[in-house]
Chain A
Amino acid sequence: MIAAAKLLIAFFILLGALISLAASFGTLRLPDVYSRIHAASKGATLGIISVLLGVFFYFWFLHGMITAKVLLGIVFVFLTSPVGAHLIARAAYNTGVKMEEKSVQDDYEGYKKFMIKKRKNTSL
Chain B
Amino acid sequence: MKKQQTNDVILQTVTKIACFIILLFSFHIFLAGHNNPGGGFIGGLMTASSFVLLLLAYDLKTVQNILPVNFIYVAGTGLLISICTSAGSFLFGAQFLTHSFGYFDLPLLGKTELATAVLFDIGVYLVVVGVTMTIIQTIGERE
Interface of A is mostly: helix
Complex contact B25–A83 (CB within 8 A): no
Interface of B is mostly: helix
Complex contact B11–A87 (CB within 8 A): yes
Instruction: Tell me if B10 is interfacial: C-beta within 8 Å of chain A.
Output: yes
Complex contact B25–A72 (CB within 8 A): yes
Complex contact A72–B10 (CB within 8 A): no
Complex contact B21–A75 (CB within 8 A): yes
Kindly list chain B residues whose C-beta atoms are within 8 Å of the C-beta of A87.
Answer: 11
Kindly list chain A residues whose C-beta atoms are within 8 Å of the C-beta of B21.
Answer: 72, 75-76, 79
Q: Mark A60-102, 1 if CB is under 8 A from B, else 0.
A: 0000000001001001100110010011000000000000000
Instruction: Tell me if B66 is interfacial: C-beta within 8 Å of chain A.
Output: no
Complex contact B10–A80 (CB within 8 A): no
Kindly list chain B residues whose C-beta atoms are within 8 Å of the C-beta of A80.
Answer: 14, 18
Instruction: Tell me if B106 is interfacial: C-beta within 8 Å of chain A.
Output: no
Kindly list chain B residues whose C-beta atoms are within 8 Å of the C-beta of A83.
Answer: 10-11, 14
Kindly list chain B residues whose C-beta atoms are within 8 Å of the C-beta of A69.
Answer: 25
Interface residues of B in 19-48 (CB under 8 A from A): 21, 25
Kindly list chain A residues whose C-beta atoms are within 8 Å of the C-beta of B109.
Answer: none
Q: Which residue of A lies closest to B53 (CB)?
A: A80
Instruction: Tell me if B67 is interfacial: C-beta within 8 Å of chain A.
Output: no
Determine how close the nearest CB of chain A comes to the CB of B22; give it in whole angstroms: 8
Q: Mark B96-127, 1 if CB is under 8 A from A, else 0.
A: 00000000000000000000000000000000
Determine how close the nearest CB of chain B comes to the CB of A89; give it in whole angstroms: 11
Determine how close the nearest CB of chain A comes to the CB of B49; give it in whole angstroms: 13
Kindly list chain B residues whose C-beta atoms are within 8 Å of the C-beta of A76.
Answer: 18, 21
Instruction: Tell me if B17 is interfacial: C-beta within 8 Å of chain A.
Output: yes
Complex contact A79–B18 (CB within 8 A): yes
Which chain B residues have a beta carbon within 8 Å of chain A's beta carbons?
A: 10-11, 14, 17-18, 21, 25
**Contacts A/B (CB < 8 Å), 17 sampled:** A69-B25, A72-B21, A72-B25, A75-B21, A76-B18, A76-B21, A79-B14, A79-B17, A79-B18, A79-B21, A80-B14, A80-B18, A83-B10, A83-B11, A83-B14, A86-B10, A87-B11
Which chain A residues have a beta carbon within 8 Å of chain B's beta carbons?
A: 69, 72, 75-76, 79-80, 83, 86-87
